[in-house]
């Protein structure tokens, strides 16, 4: 159909406001959106339906129109039900860009416009359903994952077409989970990740005992090359054997899933900021009360999602800390991977970015989480890791209240180092594998740790700052050399007499004797805490 058909007798009662000379453009589909930047989801030929909720100032109109023009849209229809008459700045922007602009009166539903376009452009039943998928875009935008389930139910009921949206670890985001066993999901996501790593063009195909499946990526950001965190649309059947119209249905559905993923990630922005704040507080040894306030804010946010009370002002439950590191992955990828892998806990876990890694703080479950279970959860990701790619993960023991989180973080990091020493692309280690002073230190409350470290090292650190001395580094080298004067002097490239002078100065400042084993142990632990 052409844009002018929207103004013909029998069409929904729309008003033309701009670009009358462009009405012969061909319309191939409909996209309903109120995103500020919908361009990434446009593929050309769409009539864009919008409620104008993106507009907060006149300048927004120019940006929005410029975005949809670049995406290949052929016309814009603005609904007047939410914000009233179409503003003049939007009319002017459409005139400048020669974009046909239609006003949708408040008594005309977007669904009516979508159905009209669908009937006009459809050559078969699948194309009609593609238009219905477009009609459901606003439902997905408003209702979250439930909207995706509604669309997939529609496909299954009207076309007998089974579809699922999966995480890279095989968890079901939407679709009939009971009709796709866990083993099949595992094989599908592995096949998809392997194809992505080999840069094969989608749709990717996989054949299981139950039949053929087609796999399409649904990235929240098409420009971010992080397939290990992308959702996957799995469709029963081989879409390459379908008619062109039916293939377009699958592509439209993949774009809808990507839009939902983007909407969900936008909703996680505040939670990510809270996670980064908790990590910063832990790294600077902040007051546990300050950490508790941030954890309470996180708990209250999760409660809103789950429609429950947020709990006491200071969370008094147990917390787990996970420390993860990625090799051969882009920055930020590990955070996104863990957000998806944690599944149902994702809205309660705080996942902080740490460059090439991530730190997770989440409520401890009722029963311990064995490292093997996490290893099995992440195992499908192996298919998407290259020869140099790795993910290593360390898990702490439960920490009681915020006061123990600093120790739990150190414990998780030490466990991750154990995991990193192993062979494999995905390696996990838990607290049960720590059998040294590390476990004892991690269990000590933060205020005790700070006091212990301060009493031993503060005077030495202050002396270093005032005199530009090197006493702390000398102390570390001396302890690493097991108290050997010659080896330590050689390591520091100083004369033995210089070393003896420095050690003597440390003993004078602290009142300790480094020839005694007990004092050496105390200094070693204080340095470990620092």
Does the pLDDT at position 50 exceed 80? yes
**pLDDT band of 443, cuts 50, 70, 90:** low
Query: What value does the mean pLDDT take over residues 212-232?
Result: 76
Residue 509: predicted pLDDT: 93
**pLDDT band of 502, cuts 50, 70, 90:** very high
Query: What value does the mean pLDDT take over residues 496-502?
Result: 93
Residue 75: predicted pLDDT: 94
Q: What CA–CA distance (Å, rounded) separates 390 from 329?
A: 8
Does the pLDDT at position 64 exceed 90? yes
Smallest CA-to-CA distance from 218 within 168, 188, 266, 254 is with 254
CA atoms within 13 A on the CB side of 57: 2
Does the pLDDT at position 374 exceed 90? no
Torsion of CA 141, 233, 72, 137, to 10 degrees: -20
**pLDDT band of 279, cuts 50, 70, 90:** confident
Number of Cβ within 10 Å of residue 40's Cβ equals: 18
Q: What CA–CA distance (Å, rounded) separates 487 from 477?
A: 9
Residue 147: predicted pLDDT: 65
Q: Counting Cβ atoms within 10 Å, is residue 284 exposed (0-12), middle (13-18) or buried (19+)?
A: exposed
What three-state secondary structure class fits 397?
Answer: coil
Name the pTM for this structure. 0.55
Does the pLDDT at position 45 exceed 60? yes
* The most confident of 315-329, 334-348, 378-392, 422-436, by mean pLDDT: 378-392
Does the pLDDT at position 37 exceed 80? yes
Pairing relationship of beta strands 390-395 and 318-327 according to DSSP bridges: antiparallel
Q: Where are the extended beta strands (E) located within 51-156? A: 75-79, 101-104
- Higher-pLDDT residue of 270 and 494 is 494
Q: What CA–CA distance (Å, rounded) separates 174 from 118?
A: 25
**pLDDT band of 157, cuts 50, 70, 90:** low
Sign of the Cα pseudo-torsion (37, 42, 46, 49, in order) = negative
CA atoms within 13 A on the CB side of 183: 3
Query: What value does the mean pLDDT take over residues 393-402?
Result: 82
261 and 232 Cβ atoms separated by less than 8 Å: no
Distances from the Cα of 333 to the Cαs of 96, 165, 395, in angstroms?
40, 20, 19
Sign of the Cα pseudo-torsion (273, 279, 284, 288, in order) = positive
Residue 223: predicted pLDDT: 57
Query: What value does the mean pLDDT take over residues 113-120?
Result: 82
Q: Which of 20-29, 121-130, 154-163, 327-336 has the lowest mean pLDDT?
A: 121-130
Smallest CA-to-CA distance from 384 within 166, 185, 188, 193 is with 193
Q: How many helices, marked H, and strands, marked E, lie in the chain?
A: 19, 16
**pLDDT band of 411, cuts 50, 70, 90:** confident
Residue 442: predicted pLDDT: 55
| DSSP class per residue in 341-372 | HTGGGGGT-EEEEETTEEEEEEEPPSS---HH
Q: What CA–CA distance (Å, rounded) separates 266 from 316?
A: 30
12 and 113 Cβ atoms separated by less than 8 Å: yes
* DSSP structure class, residue 516: S
Smallest CA-to-CA distance from 446 within 292, 278, 286, 275 is with 286
- End-to-end Cα distance, the chain: 70
Please give the helix or strand (H or E) that residue 302 lies within, else none: helix 288-306
Query: What value does the mean pLDDT take over residues 228-241?
Result: 85
292 and 352 Cβ atoms separated by less than 8 Å: no
Q: Who's near 209: CB < 8 A, 6+ residues apart?
A: none
Q: What percent of the chain has pLDDT over 90?
A: 22
| DSSP class per residue in 250-289 | HHHHHHHHHHHHHHHHHHTHHHHHHHHHHHHHHHTT--HH
Q: Who's near 396: CB < 8 A, 6+ residues apart?
A: 320, 321, 322, 323, 408, 409, 411, 412, 415, 431, 442
Q: Where are the extended beta strands (E) located within 305-347? A: 318-327
Residue 259 φ/ψ, nearest 5 degrees: -65, -40
Query: What value does the mean pLDDT take over residues 461-479?
Result: 91
Residue 494 φ/ψ, nearest 5 degrees: -130, 165
Does the pLDDT at position 143 exceed 50? no
Query: What value does the mean pLDDT take over residues 152-156?
Result: 72
Residues forming a β-bridge with 77: 49, 102
Sign of the Cα pseudo-torsion (45, 103, 116, 107, in order) = positive
Angle between helices 471-480 and 496-510 (to 10 degrees): 110
Average pLDDT, the chain: 81
- Higher-pLDDT residue of 112 and 309 is 112
Question: Residue 487 is encoded by which pair of tokens?
Answer: 């080896």
**pLDDT band of 140, cuts 50, 70, 90:** very low
Sign of the Cα pseudo-torsion (393, 397, 401, 402, in order) = negative
Does the pLDDT at position 371 exceed 80? no
Does the pLDDT at position 103 exceed 90? yes
150 and 136 Cβ atoms separated by less than 8 Å: yes
145 and 260 Cβ atoms separated by less than 8 Å: yes
46 and 121 Cβ atoms separated by less than 8 Å: no
* The most confident of 227-231, 291-295, 359-363, by mean pLDDT: 359-363
Residue 90 CA from chain centroid, whole number? 34
Q: Counting Cβ atoms within 10 Å, is residue 297 exposed (0-12), middle (13-18) or buried (19+)?
A: middle
Query: What value does the mean pLDDT take over residues 359-378?
Result: 78
Query: What value does the mean pLDDT take over residues 189-217?
Result: 88
Residue 388: predicted pLDDT: 76
Q: What CA–CA distance (Å, rounded) separates 254 from 14?
A: 30
Residue 311: predicted pLDDT: 46
Q: What CA–CA distance (Å, rounded) separates 81 from 107?
A: 7
- Higher-pLDDT residue of 55 and 296 is 55
Residue 349 CA from chain centroid, whole number? 11
Query: What value does the mean pLDDT take over residues 82-103?
Result: 92
Q: What CA–CA distance (Å, rounded) separates 4 from 89?
A: 23
Q: What CA–CA distance (Å, rounded) separates 373 from 132?
A: 41
């Amino acid at each position: 159909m052409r844009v002018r058909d929207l103004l013909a007798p029998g069409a929904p009662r729309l008003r033309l406001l701009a670009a009358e000379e462009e009405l012969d453009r061909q319309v191939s589909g409909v996209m309903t959106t109120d995103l500020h930047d919908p361009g990434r989801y446009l593929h050309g030929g769409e009539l864009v339906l919008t409620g104008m909720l993106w507009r907060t100032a006149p300048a927004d109109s120019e940006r929005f129109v410029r975005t949809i023009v670049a995406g290949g849209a052929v016309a814009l229809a603005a609904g007047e039900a939410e914000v009233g008459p179409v503003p003049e700045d939007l009319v002017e922007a459409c005139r400048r860009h020669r974009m046909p602009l239609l006003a949708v009166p408040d008594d005309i539903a977007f669904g009516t416009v979508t159905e009209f376009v669908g009937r006009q452009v459809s050559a078969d039943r699948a194309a009609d359903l593609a238009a219905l998928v477009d009609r459901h875009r606003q439902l997905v935008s408003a209702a979250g994952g439930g909207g995706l389930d509604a669309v997939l139910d529609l496909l299954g009921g009207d076309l007998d077409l089974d579809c699922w949206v999966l995480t890279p670890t095989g968890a079901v985001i939407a679709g009939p989970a009971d009709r796709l066993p866990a083993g099949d999901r595992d094989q599908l996501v592995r096949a998809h990740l392997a194809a992505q790593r080999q840069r094969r063009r989608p749709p990717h195909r996989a054949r299981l005992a139950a039949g053929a499946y087609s796999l399409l990526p649904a990235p929240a950001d098409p420009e971010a090359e992080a397939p290990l965190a992308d959702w996957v649309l799995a469709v029963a059947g081989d879409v390459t054997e379908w008619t062109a119209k039916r293939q377009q249905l699958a592509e439209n559905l993949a774009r809808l899933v990507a839009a939902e993923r983007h909407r969900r990630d936008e909703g996680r922005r505040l939670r990510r900021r809270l996670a980064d704040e908790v990590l910063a507080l832990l790294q600077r040894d902040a007051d546990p009360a300050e950490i508790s306030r941030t954890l309470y804010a996180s708990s209250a946010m999760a409660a809103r999602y789950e429609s429950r009370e947020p709990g006491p002002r200071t969370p008094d439950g147990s917390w787990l800390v996970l420390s993860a590191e990625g090799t051969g992955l882009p920055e930020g990828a590990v955070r996104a991977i863990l957000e998806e892998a944690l599944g149902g806990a994702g809205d309660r876990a705080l996942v902080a970015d740490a460059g090439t890694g991530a730190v997770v703080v989440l409520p401890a479950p009722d029963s311990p989480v064995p490292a093997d279970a996490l290893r099995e959860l992440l195992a499908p990701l192996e298919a998407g890791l290259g020869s140099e790619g790795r993910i290593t993960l360390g898990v702490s023991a439960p920490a009681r209240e915020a006061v123990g989180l600093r120790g739990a973080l150190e414990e998780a990091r030490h466990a991750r180092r154990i995991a990193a020493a192993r062979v494999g692309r995905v390696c996990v280690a838990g607290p049960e594998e720590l059998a040294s002073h590390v476990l004892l230190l991690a269990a000590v409350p933060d205020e005790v740790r700070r006091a212990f470290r301060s009493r031993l090292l503060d005077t030495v650190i202050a002396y270093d700052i005032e005199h530009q001395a090197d006493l702390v580094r000398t102390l570390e080298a001396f302890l690493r050399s097991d108290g050997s004067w010659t080896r330590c002097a050689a390591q520091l490239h100083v004369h033995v007499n210089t070393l003896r002078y420095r050690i003597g100065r440390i003993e004078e400042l602290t009142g300790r004797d480094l020839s005694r084993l007990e004092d050496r142990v105390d200094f070693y632990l204080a340095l470990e805490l620092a």
